[in-house]
A = this chain, B = another copy of it.
Amino acid sequence: MKPLKIVVIGGGSSYTPELVEGIILHRTTLPVKELILVDVLMGEEKVNIITDLAKRMFINAEMNVDVSYTLNRREALNGADFVLTQLRVGGLDARRKDERIPLQYGVIGQETTGPGGFAKAIRTIPVMLEICRDMENICPDAWLINFTNPSGIVTEAIHKYSKVKCIGLCNVPINMHYDAAERLGVNPKDLYCEFTGLNHLSFMTHAYYNGADRLPEILGIDVEEGIVENINKIEEMDIIANQLGFMLSPYLQYFYFEKSMIQEELENLHSAKGTRSDEVLEVEKGLFELYKNTELNIKPEALSKRGGARYSEAAISLINSIYNDSNELHVVNVINHGTIPELPQDSAVEVNCIINKQGATPIHIGSLPTTIRGLVEQVKMYETLTIKAAVTGDRTTALLALLNNPLIHDVMDAKNILNDLLDAHKDLLDNFYKDKMGRK
């Protein structure tokens, strides 16, 4: 077996120990020889801590993996087999603005949906396309496994503007899968869950166990826990899921319970709690304190609370299935090409795929059910326009993108929020601030 080189861009993320654990768990089938963590100057302290932890984890596992970090991305990409992107342009500080600016206008402030997701997308897409330019030159045969949010939009942008082989990943589907299995009291491996929709807008439409679709039973179960973790509107989501007949991505609570989610967000904002980024900041601080501990040589339990549960399982088993050409089924973000006929051919969808050395081939999904088709199409139009805005820096396109977001209900809000976001992230939005000659 050819030994592998894996490069992680945004390697200083607190999630990285998840990945390291995944590599350790797949050691018998995935011969990783080198792991390089890439980060930017302002993240050097963190990536240094992570690198040391990773070394200790591999030593503890008695594996011989070269771990190092670098601030020089192009150097790291040389000879890469897999590139994982988990970067956050502007860090938690930018996220904080994405959450707070919309809330000032009474609009959902969230990292990946609504205007916050839009801001994250237009900041992230140009950076991701730069990485792709480097990969096209330096390691054109390497696979890009993108975990950077908004994962679907980023994947679509890469497919539209680059030749890099890219699969978009999110841990929501795998968590929904495990949750369904748990509710039914069966082994997740024995359950076949079918998904349709988009990243952070996904629906489980079937859950076959032993040849029979058990989803109605799963949805009917009366539980305290809600269908997936991290849902605020637990009970309500269960009820609406039952009426739709589909298991719902937790992010759908922003669409189906927008009004009460805004109320909750506003209450938190005006309390000590703040927004989600404030919370994450605290969690991260605690995690890095743990990571610094030179006694620590395994993934700490506390990491699972960070929101990246089963990220390693999703990412490393995906890499494993590519590397070993094993035709496993994974739910990932790929280009539609007609598997959902109502969506544009060239748009990203989050669906069941066969994974092998050629990459991800969707099984045929077919038409969206009437009850969710409108929402999915509306969001896809928003995504399409967002990508166009990010690449062109055109403000009218950006406005029309926001106007197509179902969480914005008034042109005036769209305009004000757009202006504030473009202003707040001015340094990170070159495309919107260059002159007609393309100069900043």
* Residue ranges of A at the interface with B (Cβ–Cβ < 8 Å): 190, 192, 208, 210-211, 213, 236, 239-240, 243-244, 256-260, 325, 327-329, 337-339, 341-342, 354, 356-358, 361-367, 370-371, 373-375, 377-382, 384-385, 396, 399-400, 403-404, 406, 409-413
Q: Across the interface, do B329 and A403 meet the contact criterion of CB distance under 8 Å?
A: no
Contacts of A357 in B (CB 8 A): 192, 208, 210-211
Q: Across the interface, do A385 and B364 meet the contact criterion of CB distance under 8 Å?
A: no
Q: How far is the CB of A154 from chain B (nearest CB, A)?
A: 19
Q: How long is the Cα–Cα vector from A133 to B375 in the complex, in angstroms?
A: 35
**Mind listing 25 A-B residue pairs with CB under 8 Å?**
A192-B357, A192-B358, A211-B325, A211-B357, A211-B358, A236-B411, A236-B412, A239-B411, A240-B411, A243-B396, A244-B400, A256-B403, A256-B411, A257-B412, A258-B409, A259-B412, A327-B328, A339-B364, A362-B364, A370-B381, A370-B384, A374-B377, A374-B378, A378-B378, A378-B406
Number of copies: 4
Contacts of A399 in B (CB 8 A): 243
Q: How long is the Cα–Cα vector from A399 to B410 in the complex, in angstroms?
A: 24
Which chain B residue has the least Cβ–Cβ distance from A359?
A: B211
Contacts of A412 in B (CB 8 A): 236, 257, 259-260
Q: How far is the CB of A144 from chain B (nearest CB, A)?
A: 15
Q: How long is the Cα–Cα vector from A364 to B341 in the complex, in angstroms?
A: 11
Among all A-B residue pairs, the 3 with the closest Cβ atoms: A211-B357, A374-B378, A374-B381
Q: Across the interface, do A338 and B358 meet the contact criterion of CB distance under 8 Å?
A: no
Q: How long is the Cα–Cα vector from A8 to B427 in the complex, in angstroms?
A: 62
Contacts of A325 in B (CB 8 A): 190, 192, 210-211
Contacts of A328 in B (CB 8 A): 327
Given the known inter-chain contacts A256-B403, A337-B366, please indicate yes or no for A382 contacting B371, CB distance below 8 A. no
Q: How long is the Cα–Cα vector from A379 to B375 in the complex, in angstroms?
A: 10
The contact of A364 among B210, B256, B361, by CB within 8 Å, is B361
Q: Across the interface, do A409 and B409 meet the contact criterion of CB distance under 8 Å?
A: yes
Q: Across the interface, do A375 and B362 meet the contact criterion of CB distance under 8 Å?
A: no
Q: How long is the Cα–Cα vector from A120 to B404 in the complex, in angstroms?
A: 27
Q: How long is the Cα–Cα vector from A365 to B354 in the complex, in angstroms?
A: 13
Which chain B residue has the least Cβ–Cβ distance from A210?
A: B357
13 further A-B contacts with Cβ under 8 Å, apart from A208-B356, A338-B367, are A213-B358, A240-B403, A257-B411, A257-B412, A258-B410, A329-B354, A337-B364, A342-B377, A370-B384, A371-B400, A373-B377, A374-B377, A375-B378
Which chain B residue has the least Cβ–Cβ distance from A354?
A: B363
Contacts of A377 in B (CB 8 A): 342, 373-374, 377-378
Contacts of A256 in B (CB 8 A): 403, 410-411
